[in-house]
Chains A and B, each alone.
Chain A
């Protein structure tokens, strides 16, 4: 049993569906985002984006732009102030190995869309107008942006990215055993380049406070990362810079690293000694990070009964010429399936593009699509039901990590409960066997998997004499519901109402926490908040014992419970005292504590921790038009304890919707002659809209995990993983066509 937050042994708020505490601010327009804060005499910066993908700037004519009344300055590589010299200074907390991009650094062009100038003006429209008048001339070279053409140059990244497990060494002899296997399957899979496209474009507002002090509002998934970056790049005293971001209009990974608009806003603010805001346009949202297109080959050798004998998963992914971005793509195959002969490889090839980055379930979306489509193909080849095949090769230990057992793995419950809810037993395995009018109907399924992680995180709790509690740290609520779950945890920990608790996030004046990513925030910040509240509780207990005629005299801390604003003997609630009375009697205005949480080393030495899911998809395919509709999804999730079923369900819904986008719609198309993404707008880069989304059912199966005191495993990413494979498998079931190249667009259905 995982413990409860409440010392009463039963939680009032944690575990129950609660509406978001930030809901009122978000539905009334009061919630302010990074590009919406202002200051006296605020200047506006508009970025001029480069038009070639490789080469040099030979000249920048800023005369016409500077002649526009209201323009203050045009910053370019020729007149920019100096910033830090060494690469080290530009490496943020989650940077991959390499030399981070520096905007306006020199005349070299690294990728198409690179910022080449910043026009700073008194108002937004003037800056935008003047930016259109900047004339840049180039000496262009031929860019390499076609991944299929550079496979010969692929390499094992020499420096590994921190926190990213490289493929394990092979075991057995996958190639030899594959050759002699009764059933052989070797296919290639491709996932297209995707751009995060949060609804809020990236923006930074730098307010000059005077005396070398700055307040910065930055669209980032963790203000501490931007804070350290600014201090390091601009040589600033961290105490004189405060970075805030109370609300983030979506991130999905694009806001993990500080992006170039932050650098440019601070550069201009320091140069001009005026407050500056820089907001990127939607098309400039294609000018930095993205989920990398990846080419994969999966080879499966099996007995006639479907038992895997050989498993090989090879991936080729692009990176920029300046950093070796890495994600876990191929390991998932051997995490999910037990096999005696396994080889996994992951190679990079450099292109003239910006460095790819983490996008919701980075690597897993990519690799699990390939293995879970391949497993469906193997099921078809062996005549096994796809669930039966997966159960036959089910892993009980993590072969990619010294064969450690899983801390918990309720994937079988996901299969059972998901199949039951979906009606999977009624499926006729024959492709093209179901039809409704002019539409073919298909049912497919797949497994999802994601790491369950924790990060070193601190948080504080402050109880004031009016009985109000504030908790918080510097991480961000990126729409995941962090404000709400931390409020629930704090309320239960000290027996208060949720209304008595205020959660503050996204402010470097608060205790330090990492970026919100990797689905680790609930476990990490949740544990830190719980500990800080416990500490305040112990302080209250000591004060209560010192009261005259204390009802808690001769009672141990282990025997008291916090409930309804009181501290009392657990089995005799009448023997207690209100928290506000304790503080009044002691004459204290506030009690505060800061606590930190870290991964459990003993647990991690013994176990591996993952979340799992089973996704069931129904598609309807118009045979004449080739149009695919996803009419039904059941996503059964095993992710430990669910803190708030309402916001948790929304996390999975969101992951599923983005998975539908990945399966059917999302693709940034590169013109490899120009080295430029062609469809850099929301009318040509399709993301799901309301009409694309039909019924989605989310099931949370029971799972007890002990990686952290909360029993929480994280939910931000698992909803997307495997969803595209389930849909591709359903498309095969509907049409008999196996499409291994995402997205599954009409041309591929009709081909």
Chain B
């Protein structure tokens, strides 16, 4: 599918890139200034990824790029040509044993079980960040999880429940 990015100003400046988004390969024409976040939200209607500050200060826009968590608001789409992008909409597809019977990735199910969100706006970023954190494999203790999750602000204050949910999934995977 060919997606055009940008207004008439962008028309002469578009660059062709190829991204695999949630397992689906997309051929895209994007303006060089289009961020990965705006590409997802404004052009591809993947509004699960949130814009909280557009300055890399809140983490609401966190997505996985080749399994690594990044702030999509600070990432120009053209920089990621050829990359594999996973957003909250595609998280379930990443589950090791496939999604559970509820169709969710274990971290999504754990967030519901531990009430790890309230308004839900930071949640997609928290979820992607949690998966990124587990991929990194550095954080083991609660203190380390807290530290490594501090790039994702939750104004509703669900932090202790977020740590509970991550710990739960990490322990489940260790078993």
**Hey, which bits of chain A sit against chain B, CB under 8 A?**
19-20, 22-33, 36, 38, 68-70, 121-126, 129, 197-201, 247-252, 279, 281-282, 478-481, 646-647, 649-651, 653-658, 681-683, 687-693, 695-696
Closest-by-CB residue of B relative to A33 is: B121
Q: Is B115 an interface residue (CB 8 A)?
A: yes
B53 touches A125 (CB 8 A): no
B146 touches A26 (CB 8 A): no
B160 touches A653 (CB 8 A): yes
Total of A-B residue pairs, C-beta within 8 Å: 192
B121 touches A695 (CB 8 A): no
CB<8 Å pairs between A and B, sample of 5: A20-B115, A125-B6, A129-B9, A201-B51, A682-B53
Interface residues on B, range: 35 or more
Query: Assuming A27-B104, A649-B115, what are 12 further A-B pairs, CB within 8 angstroms?
Result: A22-B120, A23-B112, A24-B102, A28-B89, A197-B155, A247-B120, A653-B160, A654-B156, A690-B162, A690-B163, A691-B147, A693-B157
Give the shortest distance, in Å, between B26 (CB) and chain A (any CB): 17
A19 touches B9 (CB 8 A): no
A200 touches B6 (CB 8 A): no
Give 7 nearest A-B pairs by CB, closest first.
A29-B48, A657-B157, A249-B121, A70-B7, A479-B119, A479-B118, A26-B120
A213 to B4, CA, bound (A): 30
B153 touches A689 (CB 8 A): yes
> Could you tell me the dominant secondary structure of chain A's interface residues?
loop
A33 to B49, CA, bound (A): 11
Closest-by-CB residue of B relative to A719 is: B157
A22 to B120, CA, bound (A): 9
A27 touches B121 (CB 8 A): no
Q: Is B94 an interface residue (CB 8 A)?
A: no
B121 touches A200 (CB 8 A): yes
Chain B residues numbered 43-59 whose CB sits less than 8 Å from any CB in chain A: 45-55, 57-58
Give the residue of A36, A480, A683 whose beta carbon is less than 8 angstroms from that of B57.
A683
Which B residues lie within 8 Å of A252 (CB)?
Answer: 155
A29 touches B118 (CB 8 A): no
B158 touches A654 (CB 8 A): yes
Give the residue of A20, A122, A658, A692 whose beta carbon is less than 8 angstroms from that of B112.
A20
A650 touches B8 (CB 8 A): no
Closest-by-CB residue of B relative to A18 is: B115
B159 touches A688 (CB 8 A): yes
**Hey, which bits of chain B sit against chain A, CB under 8 A?**
6-10, 31, 33-34, 38, 41-42, 45-55, 57-58, 60, 87-89, 91-92, 102, 104, 108, 111-113, 115, 117-124, 127, 145-147, 149-163
Give the shortest distance, in Å, between A352 (CB) and chain B (any CB): 26
Which B residues lie within 8 Å of A124 (CB)?
Answer: 38, 42
A695 to B160, CA, bound (A): 7
A23 to B145, CA, bound (A): 23
A496 to B138, CA, bound (A): 46
A249 to B124, CA, bound (A): 12
**Contact A282/B104 with A19-B112, A20-B112 known, Cβ cut-off 8 Å:** no
A555 to B160, CA, bound (A): 51
Give the residue of A27, A126, A656, A682 whose beta carbon is less than 8 angstroms from that of B117.
A27
A688 touches B157 (CB 8 A): yes
**Contact A478/B119 with A693-B159, A696-B160 known, Cβ cut-off 8 Å:** yes
A655 touches B6 (CB 8 A): no
**Contact A249/B157 with A69-B8, A125-B7 known, Cβ cut-off 8 Å:** no
Give the residue of B8, B42, B87 whose beta carbon is less than 8 angstroms from that of A29.
B87
Closest-by-CB residue of A relative to B9 is: A69
B45, B47, B151: residue with the most chain A Cβ atoms closer than 10 Å? B47
Give the residue of A197, A200, A282 whose beta carbon is less than 8 angstroms from that of B119.
A200
Which A residues lie within 8 Å of B9 (CB)?
Answer: 68-70, 126, 129
Closest-by-CB residue of B relative to A652 is: B157
Give the residue of A28, A32, A481 whose beta carbon is less than 8 angstroms from that of B108.
A28
Give the residue of A26, A38, A199, A279 whose beta carbon is less than 8 angstroms from that of B58.
A199
A23 to B115, CA, bound (A): 8
